[in-house]
Amino acid sequence: MSPQMPDLVALTKNYAINRQRVRRRVLICAGTGCIANGALKVYDRLSTVAQNAGLPVAIDLKAEAPQDATLFSKSGCQGFCQMGPLVSIEPEGFLYLRVKPEDAEDIVSQTLANGLPVERLLYREEPSGQTRRGAGDIPFYARQTRATLKACGLIDPEDIREYIAQGGYAMARKAQLELTPENLCHLLEQAGLRGRGGGGFPTGKKWNLTRIQPGVPKYVICNGDEGDPGAFMDRSVMEGNPHSVLEGMMIAARAVGAEEGFIYVRAEYPLAVKRIRQAIRDAEALGLLGPSLWGTHHALKLKVMEGAGAFVCGEETALIASIEGKRGMPMPKPPFPAQSGLWGKPTVINNVETLATVPLILAQGVEAYRSVGTDRSPGTKTFALTGHVAYTGLIEVPFGSTLRDIIYSIGGGVTGATGLVESDAFKAVQIGGPSGGCLTTAHMDLPLDFDALKSVGAMVGSGGLVVMNKHTCMVSVARFFMQFTQNESCGKCVLCREGTRQMLVLLDDIIEGRATAETLDLLQTLAKAVQVGSLCGLGKTAPNPVISTFRQFRAEYEAHVFHKRCPAGQCKSLCPPTITAALCKGCTACVRKCPVGAITGEKKLPHRIDPAKCIQCGACKTACKFNAIT
């Protein structure tokens, strides 16, 4: 087989023949989250115990597997992050949760030797206690629509033959040999694919704008600089199915006429960088990438560029500047990257999830793709579900799904102060990270798509969903995101550089009890100025969490300012001190020092503080020798 003319059919057949020798497969989740919880130790222990038990074992399928072998593989993120490390076993379909190395003996003796489940490792439904054997029976998985994430967690991301055996690179071949650049751009426009990085710009339109530009060279860039707090969708795709990203880039390069591309990944994603680089090497070794694609005169070379972790480099022009070796700072538009991008040449930039979706559209067709989602936002969207929710993790749902669907059907409900699910615990969701907005109970049935969210002052963003319970202080939440964006401002714009700094000072005044009515007026005025006057998307959207939380929770801001009280009881400066009865000796030292008589109690008995009288001067804490006052 010539490296310039890879035979996908032959590769698939060879892989299938060797795979038939495998009787059972053990797939250990080796995404970043599970690795942090000890998944690699589980992998080593399981394979060692199986070999010691005399079972025929295959560590990979690069060599011929023993007959009736048990194949041990590492997958990317399987999604159910809170329950990791995860171990899937086929053909039984068992999914084991929170597996530890010491569970290996039971898994080998009961499951691998006899095909029986280890009941204590299965998902257990509350409150019935009924166990669920496989992912399809678990609500977290069963109520999702996994398309882009379908292969993540099911294949070995470091084995290119397994991706090919699943139909991988067939659409890249079709794009190169059967479709013209015009066909590809038109097909993507018909499909209605919109950029998954936040703005939702039509992908086909972006490609066509780049395609029609005169001159060469042209470039294709994959934006893997995912910097939103709590977001890990793109990272998980790069870790779990890197070849889908490469195939999407190959199709994009064909559509716009590019022969060189860059995958920009933040250096904080070392596993994603490792697997993407391995995928490129493997694709080049098979002739899928290189000087002659599928025997044509077209070439494509892909490189990985590691970013230093600047949030602003998620913006297209700042990302381009970083690749060029300059400081990552945004440039005014126009010209747009499609007109003058990398080194002044036409450039198309899409994020990881967008590119990974492209081969799926070509494979299933426009009509099938548009049958999922909404009319103006077709397809699915991945979200990182985090915060005060029973089941956190990586999910994928059709556009048009509601918060109620996601939080209660998939996430299992909202947890309260004790960590247990409470029916009335929900307060808000921050969607879209620092650039997004706040949704409340009034939005529980709002269809989540680009246009519906924009209508209520929010945005899809990259896909972060942070659930907050009723014990959350929304002013502190706004301050958290403002501090993040202020730290991440590149400093180029005065309004962004100084405006976010001053907004942060005003928020500090509010949560520390120094604010007045003028503070609230100034905060709103400043937020609008930063929003209008900033150069790039970071500055323009930086005030969104403040604007959104103020609109939805104005009474909470006013309580901080006018009543010097934090309704959620989280801002220490606005929370009256309390006396821990178990530590109080009843010495009355605090009573004597209190200037307003807010403390009462008899000698040698626990005292109490009247919050209505307390002026929070701190005299009682200083006087107490037993650390009973907090």
Distances (CA, A) of 183 to 125, 180, 294, 351: 49, 5, 18, 22
Residues 100 and 234 reside in one and the same domain: no
pTM of the model as a whole: 0.90
* pLDDT score recorded for residue 115: 93
- Burial (CB count <10 Å: 0-12, 13-18, 19+), residue 563: exposed
Residues 180 and 130 reside in one and the same domain: no
Would residue 244 count as lying in a domain? yes
Would residue 375 count as lying in a domain? no
Q: Are 281 and 388 in contact (CB under 8 A)?
A: no
Cα 407 to Cα 389: distance, rounded to the nearest angstrom: 7
Residues 49 and 112 reside in one and the same domain: yes
What is the helix (H) or strand (E) element at residue 437, kind and residue range?
strand 437-439
Q: Is the bond leading into 217 cis (omega within 30 degrees of zero)? A: yes
Q: 326 lies in which domain range? A: 160-368
Residues 173 and 312 reside in one and the same domain: yes
* pLDDT score recorded for residue 493: 87
Residues 128 and 180 reside in one and the same domain: no
Would residue 67 count as lying in a domain? yes
Residues 295 and 175 reside in one and the same domain: yes
Would residue 617 count as lying in a domain? yes
Residues 124 and 201 reside in one and the same domain: no
Residues 463 and 505 reside in one and the same domain: no
CATH number at residue 556: 1.20.1440.230
Express each pLDDT in 455-478 by its tens digit: 888 888 878 899 999 999 999 999
Domain endpoint, select from 528, 562, 596: 562
**What are the residue ranges of helices labelled H in 145-286?**
160-165, 170-177, 181-191, 203-211, 233-240, 242-256, 270-285
Q: What token pair was written down for 85?
A: 């490390």
Distances (CA, A) of 528 to 145, 452, 522, 548, 576: 38, 22, 10, 12, 34
Would residue 154 count as lying in a domain? no
Which residues are bridge partners to 87 per DSSP?
Answer: 28, 96
CATH number at residue 285: 3.40.50.11540
Residues 330 and 359 reside in one and the same domain: yes
Residues 167 and 301 reside in one and the same domain: yes
Domain endpoint, select from 368, 391, 423: 368
CATH number at residue 610: 3.30.70.20
Would residue 568 count as lying in a domain? no
* pLDDT score recorded for residue 66: 84
Q: Are 178 and 221 in contact (CB under 8 A)?
A: no
Would residue 458 count as lying in a domain? yes
Would residue 358 count as lying in a domain? yes
Task: Return the amino acid letter for 434.
Answer: P
Task: For 596-619, give one letter per residue: b (16+ CB within 10 A) or e.
Answer: eebbebeeeeebebeeeebebeeb
Show Cβ contacts of residue 547 under 8 Å, excluding neighbours closer than 6 positions: 437, 457, 524, 527, 528, 531
Task: Return the amino acid letter for 15.
Answer: Y
* pLDDT score recorded for residue 199: 79
Residues 213 and 325 reside in one and the same domain: yes
Residues of the chain scoring pLDDT < 70 = 1-4, 62-63
Domain count, the chain: 5
CATH number at residue 128: 3.40.30.10
CATH number at residue 401: 3.10.20.600
Residues 547 and 525 reside in one and the same domain: yes
Report CA 466 to chain centroid distance, whole Å. Answer: 10
* pLDDT score recorded for residue 345: 96
